[in-house]
Amino acid sequence: MLLLHLVSLALVALASQANSLELKKDVPVFVKTLKDMQRGPPLKMVKRELKGEEKWITQPLDQFDETNKETYEMRYFINDEFQTEGSPIFIFLGGEWEASLDMINEGYWYDLAKEHKGVLIYTEHRYYGASVPTKTMTLEDLKYLHVKQALADVANFIKTFKSENAQLSNSKVVLSGCSYSATMAVWFKRLYPDLVVGAWASSAPLFAKVDFYEYKEVVGKAFRELGGDKCYNRIEKGIAELESMFKNKRAAEARAMLRICSNFDHENDLDLWSLFGSISNVFSSLAQYQGTGDLEYYCDFIMSFNDDATAIANFVYWAWNYPTCVDPSYQETVNYYLDGITNFDASRPWYYQTCNEYGWYQSSRSINQPFGSNFPATLYVELCKDVFSTKFGNDQIEKNTAQTNEDFGGLEPNVENVYMTHGGLDPWSAIGHGESHGATVISKMSHCPDLNSILSTDSAELLASKKRLAELLSQWLA
């Protein structure tokens, strides 16, 4: 298979130079790379007929204003194949993605529910998937998008679901989530401790901050630890050389190597930052979702070229997967997010949440990473201003993240009966609980690494963590 990939890259290297290509309207590469990092929970494909059904619950549009009588329909999925009288309720929380039946038909959460004869539910987060409460996503519409509203949706769901199901009226409830929805599981236990007896949070970021430079440090660490020093050094030198080419009158050469569309302006900082942010995001996505052997494989890939810059240019172009030229222009990114006002996908609402609640902008600020210095947090802040409102300047986003930490405790959420797990090479672990906080950290693994069923290939640490969760769950449901 490696040979096939190398042949593919060799063919790519012979492609026509990008400055002769017409601009192809597509998802701008910066948005595309961010989308690749916002995938839903990683699970193996279900190989049997999915059980369960799609259902809806009417929710208040504003959970905190009783004078506002507007409502919306929140989607959820339910699998009750194991239900009996008094079955515990196993809820997997949806995050910034579309929910589906898969999560409640496969994986360790499913296995645990089966063991305890539980009812499985997957809730969908407001403004994502089919649970969009407004006809458009203008800034005014998005005022109803906030994690507090989403958590209140879950609280209302639990109360309503139990009241409408006589067999389950006294059932205990447990929560689980991955990534942002794992954060929600922790925060739900903080705000509504009496509604759930316990929660499992896989890879939960807890501390909001604008400049999340530590993320790229962990990505670099993953490539060095798993791919080796030579691979790390090639990434660092190759990106540095591409940066130098743009600075030293070799921009046309660099554009051709990267197959960049003609509307890109390398003298515009925002364009240049978008390009190098997109390059770094390729490596981030691979590290964030890496499994056994993945980064070693990609490093073999990268090391097959004769020089550093050529290796990086060909590798990222292959990873971006565009049929013609690549569009990293900042204005096209702005236009794409503005188009999301009426053409819905998860990109616009999630970007709004980062501006309004979390920050989490993965920048090049640190010198302890190999991805260069050309994608500062300023790029993301400017996007907030140009896509939503000039009020979202750096000072305002700093205030917003500080408010989030005040509301939910930052790294001290003060919750009980919450089992937190992280991969040791998960870039998000830098702002989550570590071993010193009592979390379980699974070495060499990355983001949400423990959602699958117990497998013969599980490491000793991963297996021990799954068994520990099973023990805790039994205690919570006793």
3-class secondary structure for 262-290?
A: CCCCCCCHHHHHHHHHHHHHHHHHHHHCC
pLDDT at 224: 98
pLDDT of residue 57: 98
Cα-Cα end-to-end distance for the chain:
50
Q: What is the pLDDT of residue 43?
A: 67
> pLDDT tens across 378-430, in order?
999 999 999 999 999 999 999 999 999 999 999 999 999 999 999 999 999 99
DSSP secondary-structure letter at 417?
S
Pairing outcome for strands 89-93 and 119-123: parallel
Tokens coding 255:
């554009």
Q: Which two tokens stand for residue 266?
A: 């390398």
Residue 229 CB: number of other CB atoms within 10 A? 10
Q: How far apart are CA 23 and CA 324, in angstroms?
A: 8
Angle of CA points 64, 92, 131, to nearest 5°? 50
Q: Residue 395, class by beta-carbon neighbours within 10 Å (0-12 exposed, 13-18 middle, 19+ buried)? A: exposed
Residue 46: predicted pLDDT = 75
Q: What is the dihedral of CA 277, 283, 288, 291, to 10 degrees?
A: 170
Q: Which residues contact 67 (CB under 8 A, 6 or more apart)?
A: none
What are the residues whose beta carbons fall under 8 Å from the beta carbon of 197, sequence distance 6 or more?
172, 173, 174, 417, 476, 477
pLDDT digits (tens, 9 = 90+) for 177-198: 999 999 999 999 999 999 999 9
Amino acid at 353: Q
Helix (H, G, I), strand (E, B) or coil at 247: helix
pLDDT of residue 3: 40
List, as one string, the DSSP characters of 200-232.
Answer: EEES-----EEE-THHHHHHHHHIIIII-HHHH
3-class DSSP state of 72: strand
The whole-angstrom separation of Cα 88 and Cα 60 is 26
Element (H, E) at 477: helix 460-477
Both tokens assigned to 437: 């906080």
Please tell me the CATH superfamily of domain 53-206+412-477, with its number: Alpha/Beta hydrolase fold, catalytic domain (3.40.50.1820)
Q: Please list the pLDDT of the chain residue by residue as tens digits (478 residues).
A: 444 444 344 434 333 333 333 334 579 999 999 999 988 887 667 778 999 999 999 999 999 999 999 999 999 999 999 999 999 999 999 999 999 999 999 999 999 999 999 999 999 999 999 999 999 999 999 999 999 999 999 999 999 999 999 999 999 999 999 999 999 999 999 999 999 999 999 999 999 999 999 999 999 999 999 999 999 999 999 999 999 999 999 999 999 999 999 999 999 999 999 999 999 999 999 999 999 999 999 999 999 999 999 999 999 999 999 988 999 999 999 999 999 999 998 899 999 999 999 999 999 999 999 999 999 999 999 999 999 999 999 999 999 999 999 999 999 999 999 999 999 999 999 999 999 999 999 999 999 999 999 999 999 999 999 999 999 999 999 9
Three-state secondary-structure class, residue 188: helix
At which residue do the structure tokens 């660092």 appear?
236
Domain parsing of the chain, residue ranges: 53-206+412-477, 210-404
Q: Chain centroid to CA 391: how far? A: 25
